[in-house]
Structure 1
Amino acid sequence: MGSTVTSDLFQILRDGRARTRTELAAMTGLARSTVALRIETLMELGLVGSVGDAVSTGGRPSSQFAITASERVVLGVDVGATHVRIAVSTLTGTVLGERHERIPVADGPEAVLGWIATEAQSLLTDVGRSMGDLLAVGIGLPGPVEHETGRPINPPIMPGWDRFDVPGWFEGVFDVPVLVDNDVNIMALGERERSWPEVDHLLFVKVATGIGSGVIAGGVLQRGAQGTAGDIGHVYVARGAEIPCSCGNRGCLEALASGAAIARALRASGLDPNSSQDVVDLVKRGNIDAIQAVRQAGRDVGEVLTTCVSLINPSVIVIGGSLAQAGEHLIAGVREVVYTRSMPLATEHLQIAQSRVGADAAVIGACVLAIHYALSPANIESMVAAGASR
């Protein structure tokens, strides 16, 4: 009972507002003495702190309490196709320090996860924290992830990773839960946290070497039954009916409109791009063929998003990933089709915008994934119960 009461108090304080013991007692119906004891427990756990006094109406001012950027921290990890980035964050989302290294994910899990384990301990020391201050680790991987187990499933660009037990590998390294998700889901979390915190219905679309989306509905990331919700890259698009895709099918959006697909098409026309970044560079130099190819890719993405708009009715669609650096050309193609083909009621207030967070979205989202777990009612109850048993 005590841990549940303490967790309820903490969930009230998660909105960041400072409150007095009297205010918390009125909100919960608990005795002020009970609130005082539970606040003391949260302070001992390093989750809540005194943040000053309320304005006095006569007599001694009452202390106010709020969730604080205390000693407790989380670790966020962004594993990309060719890079790994880690960050230590406070529970209020302030990033204390980062590390970055160019490591191909194709080097395999032992190499990538080994670097993370070593650098995480060093980074914690650099920011004045220890392993004992860590509450959770969030990791994003560039491929499909089975949410319940944290294992990548048949990831096309991750040789050696299929069904690898990522959380299990870290046992003995981190004595805290390790949460694993695909990179687009964590980018959606990061984008919403930093740029659209008041938006409850958001679709984040990554257009890069591959194409995928993260779906936030009702303010909650939607993963679906097995964690594949938002996998729009393998939706059939008629214009690409005969184009083979890495998944084994033909006509997938990713085979037609990804950065790799555009680079391939431009090479066939006599240019020499080999990556999404090369395509973006051609667009920025004003190459007409590249601009038209990116605009058409936007239309193809927009064709699939038209169905998404009808299905989930987002209020914001954010376009991110490396190809989004081509600026308005990609987004113009998306808007052209979505605004033309979707029902007026669904698009009347729909915003289609470029990512504001950019390359930081993934590592921020990984931190958010860890924070959401660390501050969840079940975890707070566990922490209180563990503290009481010591």
Structure 2
Amino acid sequence: MPGIMTAESPTDPVPAPPPGATAGDLLALIRSGGATTRGELGRVTGLSRTAVNARLLALAAAGLVLEGDEESATGGRPASTLVLNRDAGLVLAVAIGRSRSQLSVCSLDGTELAQASHDQEIGVGPDVLMPVVAGHLARMLAELDRSGEEVIGVGLSLPGTVDRRRVVSVDSPALAGWDGIALAPYLREVTGAPLVIDNDCNVMALSERDGHLCDHDDVLVLKASTGLGIGIIAGGRLIQGHLGAAGEIGHVKVAPAEGLLCRCGDIGCLEAVAGGWALVERLRAQGQEVDHVRDLVAQAVHGNGSARSVVRESGRRVGDALAATVTVLNPSAVVVGGDMAGAFDTFAAGLRDTLFPATTALAGRNLQVLPSTYGERAGLVGCVRLALEAVLSPRAVDAALARRR
């Protein structure tokens, strides 16, 4: 299978298979656990036994499906369980932030085989950082004794708005000099597999597919870190907006920031009073030794009164700005991730202080404020899912099988 996959936009959960389900649809059911035997696949899809076997034969020939353990089928013979062949290929994940990048090599079931983290200078350009990223990926593959030819997809996240079709950043206040720069060429010496990208908040939302989204279909995933943004899940679907700019709450204009310059160049943005970069600047102006929002959070966790105060104040500012979104979209949970989630109790206390009084009673009813499932690794986990949902989607799998024929 490696080397023949294509990618598509990975945003939605696995839907019910349509009439005349394809081999790709069957693989999606097997991956999700929705049907794992021939009989179950036939019942769920309405396909005949012959049609199911033909599709499974194509998947097996591509190395994507294996016969797993046998389980007792009620009232009949043991039915051989079908499983995704996790070793049929690899995916790479790259979560690029303002000052740190995280990287991972994973099997097709999302199991991490190797990982790395790289701290970079703030303001570094793609010509400097991307070769370093490629070097880390090449090194990890070599240490695993694996080849770039085995990679079927790469998922990459960036802060700010991205163009997923062109695979470029289009508006990133956190990464000056990246907008419009093609990123795929930097990785060509590592792998020719398709690169799929999204912004950091959306991939954090994707990470919750195996977390809070198992219990909630309507969720706002807040990334509270150097910057601020939200990933919006409505009815189980990721909402990206007309130009992919949905969720940019950090640049909503708020009264407390009136007259204050934001790092985006505009005046009056929420980030100017609640973003991690603004909090760090405030404490440094007071003479405190704080270089990054992670330092601020660590001090808050260890009882520094000033640090706890600004983290809670940030939560209050964000809660006030988020209230209108909660009232309009009526989510059942707000999930808090990013560096500020390291002081979750303090930040969430401030968030609740202003969020609940400012929403309608109905929108606030049963609303939960929860920490992200994967903590500081949420972005990396989301990039893995970004790649897997793109290259193992029914449409991508069917296209790959068609090329094999």
TM-score, length-normalised on structure 1? 0.91
Match for residue 253 of structure 1?
270
**Residue pairs, 1:215-230, within 5 angstroms:** 215-230=232-247
**Post-superposition CA distance 1:161-189 (Å, at most 9, x none):** 12101134444642221011111211221
**Separation in 1 of the partners of 2:229 and 2:292?**
17
Match for residue 354 of structure 1?
371
User: Is 1:345 equivalent to 2:345 in the alignment?
Assistant: no
Runs of 4+ in structure 1 displaced over 6 angstroms?
none
1:103–1:52 distance in 2 versus 1, CA, 3 Å: same
Match for residue 73 of structure 1?
90
Letter matched to residue 78 of structure 1: A
2:169 aligned residue (152, 172, 175): 152
2:29 aligned residue (12, 18, 21): 12
303-312 or 158-167: bigger deviation: 158-167
Kindly state the Cα deviation for residue 270 of structure 1 after the two structures are TM-superposed. 4.5
Structure 2 gaps of 5+ residues are 1-19
1:222–1:57 distance in 2 versus 1, CA, 3 Å: closer
**Post-superposition CA distance 1:30-57 (Å, at most 9, x none):** 3312321211211222222111223166
**Post-superposition CA distance 1:274-333 (Å, at most 9, x none):** 331232233234333332222221111001110110122111111122122223121101
Identity %: 35
Kindly state the Cα deviation for residue 87 of structure 1 after the two structures are TM-superposed. 0.9
Letter matched to residue 183 of structure 1: D
Kindly state the Cα deviation for residue 230 of structure 1 after the two structures are TM-superposed. 0.3
Kindly state the Cα deviation for residue 140 of structure 1 after the two structures are TM-superposed. 0.7
Match for residue 161 of structure 1?
178
**Separation in 1 of the partners of 2:122 and 2:304?**
32
Task: Indicate if the aligned counterparts of 1:18 and 1:66 stay in contact, CA closer than 8 A.
Answer: no
Task: Indicate if the aligned counterparts of 1:50 and 1:66 stay in contact, CA closer than 8 A.
Answer: yes
182-191 or 113-122: bigger deviation: 113-122
Match for residue 176 of structure 1?
193
**Residue pairs, 1:63-212, within 5 angstroms:** 63-104=80-121, 106-171=123-188, 173-212=190-229
**Separation in 2 of the partners of 1:196 and 1:337?**
25
User: Is 1:315 equivalent to 2:329 in the alignment?
Assistant: no
**Post-superposition CA distance 1:97-153 (Å, at most 9, x none):** 212222336332123222232332332343354333322110011232123212112
Match for residue 309 of structure 2?
292
**Separation in 1 of the partners of 2:108 and 2:31?**
10
**Separation in 2 of the partners of 1:22 and 1:355?**
37
Letter matched to residue 197 of structure 2: V
Letter matched to residue 227 of structure 1: G
Task: Indicate if the aligned counterparts of 2:21 and 2:47 stay in contact, CA closer than 8 A.
Answer: no
**Separation in 2 of the partners of 1:59 and 1:351?**
45
Letter matched to residue 43 of structure 1: A
1:41–1:332 distance in 2 versus 1, CA, 3 Å: same
Match for residue 7 of structure 2?
none
Match for residue 38 of structure 1?
55
**Separation in 2 of the partners of 1:384 and 1:367?**
22
Letter matched to residue 235 of structure 2: G
**Separation in 2 of the partners of 1:244 and 1:159?**
17
1:197–1:188 distance in 2 versus 1, CA, 3 Å: same
1:289–1:57 distance in 2 versus 1, CA, 3 Å: closer
Match for residue 296 of structure 2?
279
User: Is 1:303 equivalent to 2:320 in the alignment?
Assistant: yes
174-183 or 270-279: bigger deviation: 270-279
Task: Indicate if the aligned counterparts of 2:101 and 2:117 stay in contact, CA closer than 8 A.
Answer: yes
Task: Indicate if the aligned counterparts of 2:253 and 2:269 stay in contact, CA closer than 8 A.
Answer: yes
SS at match of 1:245: coil
Match for residue 324 of structure 1?
341
1:251–1:20 distance in 2 versus 1, CA, 3 Å: same
Aligned residues: 386
Letter matched to residue 121 of structure 1: A
Letter matched to residue 190 of structure 1: S
**Post-superposition CA distance 1:354-382 (Å, at most 9, x none):** 22311100111000000111121210111
Task: Indicate if the aligned counterparts of 1:137 and 1:177 stay in contact, CA closer than 8 A.
Answer: yes
357-366 or 238-247: bigger deviation: 238-247
TM-score, length-normalised on structure 2? 0.88
